[in-house]
Structure 1
Amino acid sequence: MDELEADAPGATDEGLDKDNLLLEDIGSPDHTFEKNARKFTRADIERQKQEEIANARVRQVDSQGRAYGTGKRKCSIARVWIEPGEGKFLINDNRFDVYFPMLDQRAALLHPLTETKTLGLLDVNCTVKGGGVSGQIGAIRLGMSRALQNWAPDQFRPPLKEAGFLTRDSRIVERKKPGKAKARKSFQWVKR
């Protein structure tokens, strides 16, 4: 019988001492009080994170006096720099009215500048790649909004946030499924 007890795991004097210490820690009322005192609700944690983010919002400008923002939409990625100037708007080293010839496309691009009342006061220079026309417009608009927010967070963030320009549009094309013509469209049904 003594041989079996000696072979059992944790039956040594050191193992028994450790087990006793653990049981004492778990059973002590001080331990449970500390555990309950450290509990925060999910709302408290989220509120604390938002306050830290809000306090971290400071003007972010590089050594050349430019603010930077990255925008993504569908498969397009835009890198946008904003600096004080006379209102030049360059996309991939082309004027924006040459790069996007349609009026509604230009209006969508200029919307963040009109919302913050900075149209004609800032020079915008951006490079965009990937995707199609609407994806590139959305990417440039998001990048420009983020750059404006970095330029003057206290002044430009509220109107941009209210207009919804700081939210990344995460919608992408749904994948094609087997047995379907497209993602959801079925093949034409014929009786015979």
Structure 2
Amino acid sequence: MTTGGDHAFGDLISASGITYEMLDSLMALKDLDGVPGLPPLNMIEEMRYEKNTHKLTRADIERQKQEEIAKSRVRQVDSQGRAYGTGKRKCSIARVWIEPGEGKFVINDKQFDVYFPMLDQRAALLRPLSETKTLGLHDVNCTVKGGGISGQIGAIRLGMSRALQNWAPNHFRPPMKEAGFLTRDSRIVERKKPRKAKARKSYQWVKR
């Protein structure tokens, strides 16, 4: 059926058999803009069906985003054959470089066992290397500033994990991601409040 461009809008709708409940779908499909006559009803139904079947759920969209991000991850090595990573924790900032070597670990021009004398501190620092089974296979050189001991350990560990990810993203990222080494710990000390002894601790109340 052909309809002229001078027909009234209501006549076109009644002639095509389209109900008023379908007008929103028609306007969304923009089939009325610049077209002398409305498309047949079966064509509109096919377009609506195709549009509905191509709707993605939130999980599908998130899965596609993660796949695109994973594909975009490539090996990042500088001209000297080193991979770099930055780590932050509390007030500490660490810059870490890794390269193939004999397992040397230098922090601010000092051996890591001299910089961190406690055994539990060294164990926490070496966890990314032990998790990826690269302990003794890479030389690590880093500079760290600010914060205390725990903050510097967290910053160095995050920077080392990111450097390992840049060295071999497909191989090293899954175990470190599962262990939580690639997630920045955003916890900081809560500020002191007025009329409080500390952040939340109150002063002793005396009745008399």
Evaluate the alpha carbon distance shift between residue 28 and residue 118 of structure 1 in structure 2; reply closer, same or farther with a 3 A threshold.
closer
Equivalence for 2:133: 117
- Measure, in 1, the Cα distance between the counterparts of 2:145 and 2:190: 21
Equivalence for 1:169: 185
- Measure, in 2, the Cα distance between the counterparts of 1:166 and 1:83: 19
Deviation at 1:158, TM superposition (A): 1.3
Deviation at 1:41, TM superposition (A): 4.6
Please show how residues 1-192 of structure 1 align to structure 2 within 5 Å. Answer: 29-33=25-29, 37=51, 41-192=57-208
Deviation at 1:43, TM superposition (A): 3.4
- Measure, in 1, the Cα distance between the counterparts of 2:136 and 2:28: 63
- Measure, in 1, the Cα distance between the counterparts of 2:88 and 2:56: 35
Deviation at 1:85, TM superposition (A): 0.6
Provide runs of 4+ in structure 1 moved above 6 Å.
Answer: none
Whichever residue aligns with residue 113 of structure 1, its letter is L
- Measure, in 1, the Cα distance between the counterparts of 2:206 and 2:183: 45
Deviation at 1:52, TM superposition (A): 1.4
Whichever residue aligns with residue 105 of structure 2, its letter is F
- Measure, in 2, the Cα distance between the counterparts of 1:28 and 1:161: 45
Unaligned regions of 5+ residues in structure 1, if any?
1-26
- Measure, in 1, the Cα distance between the counterparts of 2:183 and 2:24: 49
Unaligned regions of 5+ residues in structure 2, if any?
1-22, 31-47
**Of the two structures, which has the highest relative contact order with CA contacts closer than 8 Å and spacing of 6 or more?**
1
What is the RMSD computed on CA atoms of the aligned residues? 1.8
Larger Rg, first or second structure (1 or 2): 2
Deviation at 1:40, TM superposition (A): 5.4
Q: Percent identity among equivalent residues?
A: 84
Whichever residue aligns with residue 108 of structure 1, its letter is A
- Measure, in 1, the Cα distance between the counterparts of 2:61 and 2:194: 44
Deviation at 1:65, TM superposition (A): 0.5
Deviation at 1:87, TM superposition (A): 0.7
Normalised to the residue count of structure 1, the TM-score between the two structures is 0.80
- Give the secondary-structure state (helix, strand or coil) at the position aligned to 1:166: coil
